[in-house]
Amino acid sequence: MAMKFAARTTELIDSPIGAAFAMLDHRVNDRPLLDLSQAAPGYSPAPIVLDRIAEAARESDTSRYPPAAGLVELRQEFATDLRRSYAASDITAADVTITAGCNQAFCATVNALAGPGDSIVLATPFYFNHEMWLQAEGIEVRYLGCTTELHPDLEEAATLIDDTTRAIMLVSPGNPTGVTLPVEVIADFVELAARRNIALILDETYRTFRPTEAPAHDGFDNPAWRTTLITLHSFSKDLAIPGYRVGAIVSGADHQREALKILDCVAIGAPRIGQEAVITGLRHARGWRREQAQRIARLQDHFVATMASAPGGFELVTSGAYFGWVRSNDQRSTDETVRRLIVELDTLVIPGTAFTTTDEGMLRFSFANLTPAEIDELGLRLATY
């Protein structure tokens, strides 16, 4: 008898990144690939962070288990960073839980709030790993539509909440759209969640890649934020250290206590060497972080200009952070369009169907992976589609 697998897992979609990579074997040309699939920084971490990693590797404490909620110095340093970024005086180290990346922050956050039989409202287009985890955990996903500006629809959200609902999930700047939600939109959602006694979870992975350094929201202004708001953070892109796996949850003590039970089971604590890297990055690489964000903003301008003529009928709908959300005018299925882009144009993108429940003819382009010259080449290749 062979082993059997859990239906919830076997019925999940495969990671769309892996599925896109699998198509590379069918390429017909012999020219360099333009890889716009994964949103991964293509540049090295700040030199001072690299030096600290090398140094930390030789320290005996680094190989020990870290405290479950993260190194105290990191929690303090990130609380300082948050107070500065949100002009919010009341965030302290006690509100910060360090995780092994923002994906783990999401999983632990959700498991603290919901289980089979409960529901979570997920704003579309959604980040595919969020949907996958909710499905894997047997939590009902209530898909929330968006407005023409690709903001989550507040009125519809109110109709999706019932006694089973534990949270509304938003991402800003969005993956896949790159759209930064206005402060007022986030405030309306915090207010709705507070009124309905559910959580508002906000994934802020790309916060430092917004076109402004103004506070991303005013959710921390109300002293009662800890009963409603949970924000999730990643250092993967901000410090270009996705391999060191560090993220954070910012939430009140009640949520933190439950989330820690889950974190303890899955990783005990986030990798200590990564936490050491982040302490140094937050303390000493602020200028470097800003420079990288500005460089990516310039790449975005270049990408927007390249897409302005809708080469090959590919129309840029929105862009921001690392992403362009692109409409194809090919009448075939989006999967077929993506296959053609890979096989014939050596251009690897992710089908929009990974982020939506129906095929809307959309594609996600992670332009931040490319150099300016590669963006020019992208325009030329798309024009031949």
Ligand X SMILES: Cc1ncc(COP(=O)(O)O)c(C=O)c1O
Q: Which residues in this chain contact ligand X in the complex, by CB under 6 A? A: 39, 101-103, 127, 171, 175, 203, 205, 234, 236, 242, 247
What is the largest distance, in Å, between two alpha-carbon atoms of the chain? 61
In whole angstroms, how close is the CB of 228 to ligand X at the nearest point?
A: 20
Residue pair 141/14 in contact (Cβ under 8 Å)? The answer is: no
DSSP 308: T
- Give residue number: closest CB to ligand X: 101
Whole-angstrom Cα distance, residue 214 to residue 283? Answer: 20
The backbone torsions φ and ψ at residue 348, rounded to the nearest 5 degrees and listed phi first, read: -100, 115
In whole angstroms, how close is the CB of 321 to ligand X at the nearest point?
A: 8
3-state helix/strand/coil string of 73-103: HHHHHHHHHHHHHHCCCCCCHHHEEEECCHH
> Closer to ligand X at the Cβ: 101 or 361?
101
> Closer to ligand X at the Cβ: 50 or 267?
267
In whole angstroms, how close is the CB of 202 to ligand X at the nearest point?
A: 10
> Closer to ligand X at the Cβ: 194 or 317?
317
| Number of DSSP helices (H) and strands (E) in the chain, helices first | 13, 13
Whole-angstrom Cα distance, residue 246 to residue 104? Answer: 9
In whole angstroms, how close is the CB of 141 to ligand X at the nearest point?
A: 16
The backbone torsions φ and ψ at residue 308, rounded to the nearest 5 degrees and listed phi first, read: -60, -30
> Closer to ligand X at the Cβ: 234 or 300?
234
In whole angstroms, how close is the CB of 31 to ligand X at the nearest point?
A: 27
> Closer to ligand X at the Cβ: 127 or 365?
127
